[in-house]
Amino acid sequence: MSLQQEVIERLGVKPEIDPEAEVRKRVDFLKEHVRKSGTTGLLIAISGGIDSAVTTGLCKKATDELSAETGREYMTLGVFQPYGEQADIADSYAVAEAFNLKYRVETNIEEAVNEIALEVEHGFKSIGMPRHLSRGGKGNVKARTRMVMQYALAFDLNLLVVGTDHASEAITGFFTKWGDGAVDITPLSTLNKRQVRLLASHLGVPKSVLDKAPTAGLWEGQTDEGELGITYDANSDYLEGKAIDDEAREKLEKQYLKTYHKRDPIPGI
């Protein structure tokens, strides 16, 4: 078995999908886990990007159906998490409007992140290695702080925290898991980026979101494709079993092998 075949089998990506059937399957998956966990709904952080927009649509359908079926209210809580001023936060709110979210919270992470960075820099100084926290290090603090806030909300409201991770992120290790702050459930996990876009069109995600370059918002101007040097088209082609440019394939496979620890269970002995 080639490494490409191994990756596809492990991540569970299909070469083609029916968007309507995939939406139904993933909504049912969310409903099942809400019931099994005894929780009262779902929490989704809405970044203004396509992945969180699609996940928001799935969550809202799931909780609306649960409410209708049981006669009790199930909540989808949309959380907006800017670091200071977020230039595209209007897209986050547009997603909430598109899916008619009743419950919305904005938690600005700037002050908390800056305090953490300051304490880390005091730590560097205390061991004789004075320095500023690196751009990448601070970007990761932003991601983890967002997860801390999501879980603080979810705990008291009895919600499952929903992740937006999918196969095109898992193959590169560019997703939120383990050391980055785990989530409870990932309804997009067997889709590649192209397939997420198909679900977005089917669900009615706002055009302003559909047209955006994918970014984790770790720092100003950061984009996934720019950071990794791999296009999502090549990434999606690879996961659909197609041949791609040798240079892109080598980069993708190198990244996959380097980030195995983000997909595997936490090792123990």
Q: Give catalytic status of residue 22 as yes or no.
A: no
Helix axes 232-239, 193-203, angle to 10 degrees: 100
Q: What is the DSSP letter of 214?
A: P
Q: Give catalytic status of residue 119 as yes or no.
A: no
Q: What is the DSSP letter of 229?
A: T
Strands (E), the chain: 41-45, 75-80, 103-106, 160-162
Q: Which strand ranges, in their side-by-side order, compose the sheet holding 41-45?
A: 103-106, 75-80, 41-45, 160-162
DSSP helix/strand/coil, 240: coil
Helix axes 232-239, 3-11, angle to 10 degrees: 90
Would you give the distance in Å from CA 21 to the centre of its chain? 21
Query: Of the candidates 63, 61, 85, which has an alpha carbon nearest to the alpha carbon of residue 74?
Result: 63
Which of the following is catalytic: 51, 91, 224, 237? 51
Distance CA 166, CA 206 (A): 20
Which of the following is catalytic: 91, 169, 224, 237? 169
Task: Return the active site residues.
Answer: 51, 169
